Amino acid sequence: MPKKKQKVFVGMSGGVDSSVAAALLKRGGFDVVGVYMKCWTEGVACTSQDDERSARLAAAHLGIPFYVWNFLKEYREKVVDYMLKGYATGVTPNPDMMCNKEIKFGLFYDRAMKLGADYVATGHYARLRREIRNPKSEIRILKGKDPDKDQSYFLSFIRPSVLANLMFPVGNHLKTEVRAYAKKIGLPNAERKDSQGICFVGKVEMGDFLREHIPTQEGDIVSVDGKLLGKHDGAFYYTIGQREGIGLSGGPYYVVQKEFKTNRLVVSTKMEDILKEEIMVRDINWFSKPTDTPIRVSAKFRYRHPDVPVALEIQGDSCLVKPDTPQRAITPGQFAVFYRGDELIGGGVIV
């Protein structure tokens, strides 16, 4: 009897990356099923209908089954409410982290496995390395081959237990190669632009989104020595290190601190006032937890942030991170992600 094909459920967002991921898997002999996750339909800026149509057309072109799974309620509860609660309490959360943890590699992964999937795949630019070590194999997340598109940062909070059944088919390719292959096989979304903005919400400015959901609350803008400089319409609309949109003449001014209890926004014209030499990180999600610390690793404090050499010291459930050079605009609520070379070893929330 011929060997049964392994079944892979592919999360198809409508973009070229996930569509090429599905195409590569089909070419590799897998039984591929495309799934669009419906997570958000609110607001005129939402592109979900266009995304779903693009994913459906790509699946039809590839000749694979296609389904739409409704996660509207769960996305609102696990991602949007998390984000709004964070901003409302004075931190700057990262909804893309929760989307990956709770939706793509949570609900979608779990449902796919229950329906008989051998693997779940997405269009993330990341790689997996499977190492055979007695008595068991170990799986590592590595940065994607394309340094400009690497998305391993956004995978730092997913469950380590799912790695054995994940695939990232485009992670070993450059973006230019992915586009070229999409054109070669005639994918209808080969020229489609990359998505921007909040995960699944579409092309919407974060400030506009927050103002739709969190009422304005006027407060004072003050200097680091307490001098009144102006007014703001809600400290939660701003983020540490922000320079644009503060509304003060002169400057430039940088947001140094959000005093949430007094609703004051503290600003400074001095870059050194937004530099930090020590960073505390909590709720660490480890893929390869160091046994002894402090250790030398590299860290990212934002997605587009270059790798920074740091000393990392585990303190209970938290880590004290000491970068070799002071870092600007370290923002509570964002994620610090740790690497050993190209290997993602863990990440947690900046406090």
Task: Return the active site residues.
Answer: 99, 199
Give the span between the Cα atoms of 97 and 74, in whole angstroms: 15
Neighbours of 291 (CB within 10 A): 7
Structure tokens at 74: 């769960």
Place of tokens 């070379």: 341
Strand (E) or helix (H) holding 54: helix 48-62
Residue type, 325: T
CA distances from 317 to 278, 280, 283, 306, 311 (A): 17, 11, 6, 26, 17
Structure tokens at 60: 């039809």
SS (H, E, C) 59-90: HHHHCCCEEEEECHHHHHHHHHHHHHHHHHCC
SS (H, E, C) 247-291: CCCCCCCEEEEEECCCCEEEEECCHHHHEECCEEEEEEEECCCCC
Structure tokens at 293: 């610390």
DSSP 34: E
Q: Which has the closest alpha carbon to 83: 189, 220, 209, 263?
A: 209
Strand (E) or helix (H) holding 51: helix 48-62
Whether 287 and 249 have beta carbons less than 8 Å apart is answered as: no
Question: CA angle, corner 169, sides to 168 and 172, nearest 5?
Answer: 95
